[in-house]
Amino acid sequence: MDNSARGQVAPLLLDWYRKQARRLPWRVAPGGGTADPYRVWLSEVMLQQTTTAAVAPYFARFTARWPTVQTLAAAPEADVMAEWAGLGYYSRARNLVAAARAVAELGGFPDTEEGLRALPGLGAYTAAAVAAIAFGRRAVVVDSNVERVVARLFAIEEPLPGARKAIRAAADAITPDEHAGDFAQGLMDLGATICTARDARCLLCPLQALCTGRAQGDPVRLPVKAAKKPRPARRGTAFWIERDDAVWLVTRPGKGMLGGMRALPDDGWSARGDGSGEGPVTGAWEPGGVVRHGFTHFDLELAVAVYAGSATPAGEGEWWPVERIAEAGLPTLFAKAAALALARD
């Protein structure tokens, strides 16, 4: 794509975005004023590896409970982790609290990429998105939707992830000095609604005349993805210990998988590799079924063992009312295990 064509991308896309922008609870409509950096940042953190449909109810609950970054900064981390339950990638929630407290201490969000990058948990993408959308800075914002649109627009052939350097350079070449936030959101919307992973609705695309991928006849093949490696499988056991209408819950270590979350006790998942780890109390155990759950780097098959006895486990934990188990903020994996155990009654 020559310089003349590159210069046409931003005007065409911005005109399309002004007319076709998605209505999202965290977004200010084109021409609607300045975006709240707290809402932009919160939404971008939630949207990492998560769909807009899944994020919307969480965003509504978070902003109702903690309407400002100062209120979030003052919240107990355990409350935030419980509210986050089900969104996955729980290190994001811990970083969310840490970043909110840093912002509160600073007296507000930094308004540059460099300043935003200094906050806990803010990587290059999130810092660029907040700088562009909330503060009007020229920043190159590349998420998975933008990555796909740009790869097709420039017909970048190198497979991912190696292509990301070229994709970012191409995105930089078309990002305008003004309205960079609207431009970034326009590319995101284009990738989410028109130039999707499974389809390229080129006749509806404002950039169709400029798209090298379309000119070559098969834009959907881009971006080229490297072959996926099979994910390893792990096995383990979760333990349901119930007494007097309460279940024994533990808090997982702050670092590691599902760190800082309430959970059922378990055997470490891979301690023996066969789901037969010893339970936290000695006594009669009954099988409660099997939960299957996929994590980013492995698949897990978790057997549920149900205790029939009256002993109290050693170590730290708490008795949680069974009728309020939905309020415990269990991660999805353990919520599935609890549902299996309860289904036995």
Angle between helices 77-84 and 91-106 (to 10 degrees): 130
145 and 248 housed in the same domain: no
Quick one: which of 227, 231, 247, 239 has its CA closest to 293? 231
Shared domain for 292 and 338, answered yes or no, is: yes
Residue 77 lies in a domain: yes
Domain assignment present for residue 269? The answer is: yes
Question: What is the pTM for the complete model shown?
Answer: 0.81
DSSP conformation class of 227: P
| Contacts with 41 (C-beta within 8 Å, 6 or more apart), sequence order | 69, 99, 109, 122, 126, 130, 134
Active site residue 301: no
- Same domain, yes or no: 114 and 256: no
> Which residue, among 304, 310, 15, 320, has the nearest Cα to 183 in the 3D structure?
15
State yes or no: cis peptide before 313, omega within 30 of 0. Answer: no
Do the beta carbons of residue 8 and residue 210 sit within 8 Å?
Answer: yes
Q: For residues 61 and 67, is the Cβ–Cβ distance under 8 A?
A: no
Write out the chain's pLDDT in tens, 345 residues.
Answer: 788 888 999 999 999 999 999 999 999 988 777 899 999 999 999 999 889 999 999 999 999 999 999 999 999 998 999 899 888 888 899 999 999 999 999 999 999 999 999 999 999 999 999 999 999 999 999 999 999 999 999 999 999 999 999 999 999 999 999 999 999 999 999 999 999 999 999 999 999 999 999 999 999 999 999 888 888 999 999 999 999 999 999 999 888 888 888 999 999 886 444 444 467 888 888 899 999 999 888 999 999 999 988 888 988 999 999 999 999 989 999 999 999 999 976
The CATH number that applies at residue 38 is 1.10.340.30
The answer to whether residue 228 sits within a structural domain is no
Q: Is 227 within the bounds of a domain?
A: no
Q: Which of 158, 190, 221 is the last residue of a domain?
A: 221
Co-location of 22 and 169 in the same domain: yes
Residues 278 and 329 in one domain: yes
Report the domain count for the chain: 2
Look at residue 276 in the predicted model and tell me its pLDDT. Answer: 45
Residues 70 and 97 reside in one and the same domain: yes
- What domain range is 328 assigned to? 233-343
Question: Domain for residue 113, yes or no?
Answer: yes
Residue 33 within a domain: yes
The C-alpha atoms of residue 10 and residue 138 are separated, in whole angstroms, by: 13
137 in the same domain as 27: yes
Question: What is the sign, positive or negative, of the torsion defined by CA atoms of 64, 190, 34, 181?
Answer: positive
Are 172 and 247 in a shared domain?
A: no
Instruction: Clarify whether residues 271 and 155 are in a common domain.
Output: no
Identify the active-site residue in 44, 77, 318, 327.
44
Q: Are 92 and 154 part of one and the same domain?
A: yes
pLDDT at 278: 65
Quote the pLDDT of residue 300: 93
- Of 167, 199, 221, the residue that ends a domain is 221
